[in-house]
Structure 1
Amino acid sequence: MFTGIIETLGEVINLKKDQENLHITVKSDITNELKIDQSVAHNGVCLTVVAINNDEYTVTAIKETLDKTNIESLELGDKINLERAMKLGDRLDGHIVQGHVDETGVCKSIKDENGSTVFTFQYNSNNNNVTIEKGSITVNGVSLTVVNSKKNEFSVAIIPYTLEHTTFKNFKIGTKVNLEFDVIGKYVARLTELK
């Protein structure tokens, strides 16, 4: 389980296809604290550490992950948001994040609001995912509050600190992002479907 509070940025330094899997090697300032078999969220995608070498570590994404996230579009040199799983007893500063991406979305607009930046994202309305005003959403692993909710679109307001310390600073119109909708909202939506 994660909180959506990004610890640091990593840099993709190697990508290796192996049948339908993708091995991703990341250079990071938290590598020395990792161990083999540990879960780390990469742009919100929970992946298992399979190898460590000095300040670099490797994780493997399977076809299911590649099909449902933006991981397959990573390129050498890309920066990615990193978060280690939370420890029992830690404060839950963000919200409950599983590291299981529901779908991808696309950045539709970026607007400077004199102290914050408002990003609007569009997603597939056929997947029955929903957002609500002041509800939680995870975008590329970042825990955020929805400020404008529509049927297949939502906006979030980013403070300067988050903009500077996450991959949001690299977003452009058309950027594909990983979305994990609020787990409680997903259960409520599913229960409503079953009635």
Structure 2
Amino acid sequence: MFTGIVTDVGEIVALEAGEEVTSLMIASRYDPASIAIGASIACDGVCLTVVAVDPDDGGADFAVEAGPETLGLTTAGGWRVGTRLNLERALKIGDELGGHLVLGHVDGVAEIVEREDGPDTIRFTLAAPSSAAKFIAVKGSVCLDGTSLTVNQVDRELFSVHLIPHTLTATNWADKTVGTRVNLEVDMMARYAARLAEASALGY
């Protein structure tokens, strides 16, 4: 479980693609002593399991593995050495819930169709996959590349988010341009509410 509050921006420093599984080594500023083997870390919103940790100058390099479903359903299949990733470690009991509850289970990939740069902020308009668009609501929460954001406007599959200076500094969002594909996870409460309504309509 995560919150969508990015705590570091890591960089892929090694990648090995196997027949089914891709192994990735990600450089971070995390304390290596604080990362346990088997721990979950959200990488651009994708929950991945740590399989190895190596201390590095000023931080830690940690290894994760992405399987066929992750590679096919998220942006992970396009990650390369040098790709910068928003990172968040799993929520612990007692941690502040600063964003919203995020599972790290990507619902689909959205694409940036417009970027409007202001003096200090950036507004992005994105196209959501049709399967996820119905769960996105004005003033609702959405997780994009591991970042908890508030939806400003919705027009069918299109929706917009407005990023403040702190978010642009603390994440990789300032790097994103029109055409960039991002991992989308809808608010879990919206997902469950839709399922309850569907079940009710079916007479369950």
Correspondences of 1:102-141 after superposition (within 5 Å) = 102-127=107-132, 129-141=134-146
Aligned partners of 2:127 and 2:157 also within 8 Å: yes
Structure 2: which 5+ residue stretches go unaligned? Answer: none
Counterparts of 1:19 and 1:77, CA distance in 2: 22
Aligned partners of 1:31 and 1:57 also within 8 Å: no
Relative to the length of structure 2, the TM-score reads: 0.92
Aligned partners of 1:129 and 1:186 also within 8 Å: no
Counterparts of 1:77 and 1:97, CA distance in 2: 26
Correspondences of 1:93-104 after superposition (within 5 Å) = 93-104=98-109
Encode CA deviations 1:21-49: one digit per residue, 9 max, x unaligned: 11110011115121100000000000000
The residue that corresponds to 1:78 in the other structure is 83
Correspondences of 1:29-44 after superposition (within 5 Å) = 29-32=29-32, 33-44=34-45
RMSD over aligned CA atoms reads: 1.2
Aligned partners of 1:81 and 1:141 also within 8 Å: yes
Please state whether the residue corresponding to 1:48 is helix, strand or coil.
strand
Please identify the structure whose Cα radius of gyration is greater: 2
How many residue pairs align between the two structures? 195
Counterparts of 2:174 and 2:108, CA distance in 1: 21
Encode CA deviations 1:111-148: one digit per residue, 9 max, x unaligned: 12343211111022145642111000000000000001
Q: Residue type of the partner of 2:150?
A: T
Counterparts of 2:41 and 2:134, CA distance in 1: 24
Encode CA deviations 1:142-165: one digit per residue, 9 max, x unaligned: 000000112212100000111122
Q: Once the two structures are aligned, what percentage of the paired residues are identical?
A: 39
1:49 aligns with 2:54: no
Relative to the length of structure 1, the TM-score reads: 0.96
The residue that corresponds to 1:2 in the other structure is 2
Structure 1 residues 191 and 128 mapped into 2: Cα distance closer, same or farther (>3 Å)? farther
Please state whether the residue corresponding to 1:161 is helix, strand or coil.
helix
Please state whether the residue corresponding to 1:188 is helix, strand or coil.
helix
Counterparts of 1:133 and 1:115, CA distance in 2: 23
Structure 1: which 5+ residue stretches go unaligned? Answer: none
Aligned partners of 1:41 and 1:83 also within 8 Å: yes
